[in-house]
Structure 1
């Protein structure tokens, strides 16, 4: 693709700042969503054409613009399908997890098996073996996944947001009961004991596969409901950001703002293509407050304290 063509596409979009990105937030998602010829790479022309198709589909009344209701309705349809697929995948894994914990293969998970499984998971994340997992600890799961990440096959990554004890962040979310950003083994064990008791619905001291599945489905469905609610709230926010002139009617130009930002973020070598071999973009940096802003905020806090006195 020539530089002139690329500039022709992007020129009308320049000069707009966008803080909310409505396009997919990872490279596989960008490629898989818009790769029209399924060759596992995405050109700018292909991207614009696919975005145009989505915009037209979203514009259900065919008036050339997308209102808030149309925007939310289209996204909610895609979200619902993603949640259904993600739920199915999560439920399918429960059988595998049950078998991994049930070491003696007797159709039940005993308390000892349940606690032993938890101990293995805790020890794996407790890299310095001090019986404490800190929120700031290196995550061996993430580090392992990042090695050779660009060589992984394209696959869609959609998260329900279900905390997992298989990574440091999930461990803190699930087991940090006193909110001090670290989990001791004693703290972890207490929560595991309560979880075993809750899952053992008939109170016989053993967990069968149905009990294991039902307990997980209860937590999963609650998380799906939360994810759906939060995602839809964010969709309303995104519409407000994209509707730059605040006329409640998003044009294709406005719709392409977030898309152009996403494409350019992942096209790190600037050749007009997004591919799995492109280097990863630099981590997003939060803008630093200038001295005047910081000073104003400090004065405001001081004034508030003085008022209380």
Structure 2
């Protein structure tokens, strides 16, 4: 009986530790995502590698508490959703401009159309940038050689649901193009890009115009923004939980306290 009690106690300690570790991981992710959103709303910070500004973060919520002294989770989530609308509109405009620039880079001979050969040429460069040991296969060795890379395709350190689903490291590349395998060949990648190219060529004339290229990107961007905006609600709820610390409503000073904790987390 005594051995059973000791065994049960050990299991309880292990379970408690596991739950604590899981909660700690979720908290860390929530802090990271809050910081990523801060950078999205203040892109000059990322560009200049500027430090986190507690006062600036608090000011981001001025309008929320200007209308309500106390805010519940629904009001907080709605406020964040409204901020996302403005943010996504700005990012859409910027991304479409970049799409036009990318097309003109891909169009090597500047004849106003992109051939499959030109499109795949850029694919080779992308593949080679992930192929760290230059053996023509992306696998576990490349993951180890690449080290820890957490920066996203669009330059931010944390991938958010509203980020475009583009691989930013070897692991993500294998997940996206490996078709369930633990490696990716250049042929696998070319096959996926073949499909993308021909789906972009809407009039099936075997060349892609600038408008076709931009239209395809716009469609993907809008679809990802719509689904990502919905998924961001869960992040806002998690962030509210960290700010509220068990309370049903929060006030402006709670944002101030959270900003101080956030600053501690990102400087550790």
TM-score (norm 2): 0.71
Q: Contact between 2:138 and 2:183, CA under 8 Å: does it hold in 1? A: yes
Deviation string, structure 1 residues 89-124 (Cα, Å, up to 9, x no partner): 211111121111111111111111112221122122
TM-aligned CA deviation for residue 67 of structure 1:
1.5
TM-aligned CA distance change 1:165 to 1:100, over 3 Å: farther
Q: Which has the larger radius of gyration?
A: 1
Q: Contact between 1:71 and 1:239, CA under 8 Å: does it hold in 2? A: yes
Partner SS state of residue 21, structure 1: helix
TM-aligned CA distance change 1:28 to 1:257, over 3 Å: closer
TM-aligned CA distance change 1:139 to 1:87, over 3 Å: farther
Structure 2 equivalent of residue 96 of structure 1:
101
Q: Contact between 1:29 and 1:157, CA under 8 Å: does it hold in 2? A: no
CA distance in 2, matches of 1:141, 1:65: 41
List runs of 5+ in structure 1 lacking aligned partners: 1-16, 146-154, 269-280, 282-309
TM-aligned CA distance change 1:141 to 1:108, over 3 Å: farther
Partner SS state of residue 105, structure 1: coil
TM-aligned CA distance change 1:199 to 1:56, over 3 Å: closer
Structure 1 equivalent of residue 174 of structure 2:
172
Structure 2 equivalent of residue 276 of structure 1:
none
Q: Does 1:245 align with 2:262?
A: no
List runs of 5+ in structure 2 lacking aligned partners: 1-23
Q: Contact between 2:106 and 2:122, CA under 8 Å: does it hold in 1? A: yes
Tell me the number of residue pairs that the alignment of Structure 1 and Structure 2 aligns. 230
Q: More helix per residue: 1 or 2?
A: 2
Partner SS state of residue 129, structure 1: coil
TM-aligned CA distance change 1:209 to 1:122, over 3 Å: same
Q: Contact between 1:137 and 1:168, CA under 8 Å: does it hold in 2? A: no
Structure 2 equivalent of residue 235 of structure 1:
236
CA distance in 2, matches of 1:28, 1:245: 23
TM-aligned CA deviation for residue 224 of structure 1:
0.9
Structure 1 equivalent of residue 17 of structure 2:
none
Q: Contact between 2:113 and 2:207, CA under 8 Å: does it hold in 1? A: yes
CA distance in 1, matches of 2:111, 2:261: 54
Structure 1 equivalent of residue 39 of structure 2:
29
Partner SS state of residue 35, structure 2: coil
Deviation string, structure 1 residues 255-282 (Cα, Å, up to 9, x no partner): 344212112234x4xxxxxxxxxxxx4x
Q: Contact between 2:34 and 2:239, CA under 8 Å: does it hold in 1? A: no
Partner SS state of residue 110, structure 2: coil
Q: CA RMSD in A?
A: 3.6
Q: 248-257 or 213-222, which moves further after superposition?
A: 248-257
TM-aligned CA deviation for residue 56 of structure 1:
4.8
Q: Does 1:105 align with 2:122?
A: no
TM-aligned CA distance change 1:170 to 1:202, over 3 Å: farther
Structure 2 equivalent of residue 57 of structure 1:
63
The correspondence of residues 114-263 of structure 1 with structure 2, limited to 5 A, is 114-134=119-139, 136-139=143-146, 160-164=162-166, 167-176=169-178, 178-246=179-247, 248-263=248-263
